[in-house]
Structure 1
Amino acid sequence: MCTWGNVKTKPSTCILDTLYHVFPNEECAKEFAQFFHSVYKVEPAQLDVSAISAAVGGNARVHLVRLEPDDVHRALARLPPKISVGPDGLPPFILKDCRHVLKEPLLHVFNVCLATATFPERWKLTRVVPVPKGSGGLETGDYRPVALLNSPVKVFESAIHHSLYGQVRARLCDAQHGFRPGRGTTGNLLHLMTQVVPALDAGRQVDVAFFDFRKAFDTVDNNILLAKLAGIGCTPHTLLFASYLRDKRQYVDCAGCHSDQYWTRSGVSQGSNLGPLQFIIMINDLPEVVCESTCLLFADDLKLVREIGDISDHAKLQHDIDKVIK
């Protein structure tokens, strides 16, 4: 709801300070790295990119062929100047303030990446900072990893996102309210209320099943994601994402102390521009398995709503729940 923004305050760093006093900073970074690494899937089977390209065939509808100077200039202008730096240590405000000079060389690099469908290896390294969930806690599981990318990557992703979202927007399921401009938690809850309130006012029963998928962003299977991208019409050229998703590395930064680097064989970055869009594309077909209930999504939060008139309605809702779990 809108009021959440008024009552939510910036998470206190006192819990992290406590951890730093309990453990040396190096040990703290190591503990977080081991935990964050543990949630990723093991290395998936090698993807047959040619098979996906053939599957798209003549149905390709999404194109990322070339960026224009204005695309990069707008992406630089959108860059938040005060966000934390990534592994390159380059403050985003430098790129933003120097965008008139830097847009052409960045444009050349970005278009080479698109032309060769190759994402540079150095750009695949991510700095991860532990951020408390709610009030935090003394367990590593009480923190979420926030990915901080290299500054040029933020610009590249922003430019690609702008083009990609404009092309796939009409193909995203209407049930999804997360990570979409003009939509949010308020609209999601209003849709729920339109299903629930009239029935309750009439004295009828409404059952709602709530789902929150555990580690949903971190456990995305990259092979399945690429197949889903192909399914919405990405051209073989857009399988730049195959390079983008492969061989990513991270390290945890705790108060300036870094863990060893570790590989991430699954998932999409929660601190990136493309990660949220990739995630909602990944689960875009989820409502198709829900046949008997109303489906509402906000990112990885799912609600199934059904008015209950008799025992058969319970069975139908349970059938949808079972389909989602499978």
Structure 2
Amino acid sequence: RYVRNCGADLTGVNEIFHDGQILSSDIDKASCLNDFFHSVFLPQTDFAKLFTLAEPPLGTQPLMPPVELCVSNIESPLKNIDETKAFSPDGVSSCVLKRCAWPIASYLYLIYKKSLSTGVLPEDWKMAFVVPIHKGGSKKKANNYRPISLTSILCKILEHIFYKDIMKHLVQHKLLVDDQHGFCRGPSCTTQLIEFYHDLVSEVDDNGQTDCVFLRFQKGV
């Protein structure tokens, strides 16, 4: 990880070749990348019309209790903020949040409670800095970049609190299957590959057949 960070390209996007022209100005490159990212986005969709979720019978699944929100579980992630991170779109400094975690946590508690009770997020939390990340191939082609959104740190902290409570509920009531390797503490892509190869070799030893389907998303936006 250290070597990867030392070798990271911090110069951004140098030049982009588009429609027979070489784009070198920041405005031209940003416009070109923005046009490409916009072209692969899906229009806003009413997902409620696409899926019909059946209500589980009463008593079959334990209900998740309300999310626990208090000053202490807000202060803790504030203290763990990486001070080297850039400013978020709301203009709040990660350094200030970390070094003033205790007094800020009390005010954030009031904001979070208001947001949860009204179901409304502050407009600044909905903004993001979109950064192009090279994903392979020529660095001069816009379609070889993927957008990464840098969102509000304050909103991420609220998300972190929700994540911890949801995961606690899922683990406590064994609602995750053993084959779940993503977003869980402990399992990872490595453990998934080990399990996959174990099953594959076992089938070969038993003269069995294994059918594998690999899915690769060409445009991960």
TM-score, length basis structure 2: 0.79
Say whether residues 1:111 and 2:108 are aligned partners. no
Q: Which has the higher Rg, Structure 1 or Structure 2?
A: 2
Listed one character per residue, the Cα deviations across residues 181-220 of structure 1 (whole Å, up to 9, x for unaligned) are 111121011111110123334555544221124546x4xx
Give the aligned CA root-mean-square deviation in angstroms. 3.2
Listed one character per residue, the Cα deviations across residues 122-171 of structure 1 (whole Å, up to 9, x for unaligned) are 21111111111146521122112111112211222222221222223432
Identity %: 24
Quote the Cα distance in structure 1 between the aligned partners of 2:94 and 2:118: 26
- The answer on whether the counterparts of 2:112 and 2:158 sit within 8 Å (CA) in structure 1 is yes
Tell me, what secondary structure is at the counterpart of 2:132?
A: strand
Q: 1:22 to 1:41 in 2, by over 3 A?
A: closer
TM-score, length basis structure 1: 0.56
Listed one character per residue, the Cα deviations across residues 19-73 of structure 1 (whole Å, up to 9, x for unaligned) are 497332112111112222222221223859xx98x95796672344451111101
Quote the Cα distance in structure 2 between the aligned partners of 1:77 and 1:13: 27
Unaligned runs of 5+ in 2: none
Equivalent position to 1:18, from 15, 19, 23? 15
Aligned twin of 1:179:
183
Unaligned runs of 5+ in 1: 219-326
Listed one character per residue, the Cα deviations across residues 108-134 of structure 1 (whole Å, up to 9, x for unaligned) are 101111111222222111111111114
Quote the Cα distance in structure 1 between the aligned partners of 2:90 and 2:162: 21
Q: AA paired with 1:17?
A: N
Q: How many residues end up aligned between the 2 structures?
A: 210
Aligned twin of 2:39:
38
Q: AA paired with 2:38?
A: H
Say whether residues 1:200 and 2:201 are aligned partners. no
Equivalent position to 2:103, from 95, 101, 104? 101
Quote the Cα distance in structure 2 between the aligned partners of 1:82 and 1:36: 27
Q: 1:189 to 1:66 in 2, by over 3 A?
A: closer
Equivalent residues in 2 for 1:265-284, closer than 5 Å: none
Q: 1:87 to 1:96 in 2, by over 3 A?
A: same
- The answer on whether the counterparts of 2:68 and 2:165 sit within 8 Å (CA) in structure 1 is no
More strand per residue: 1
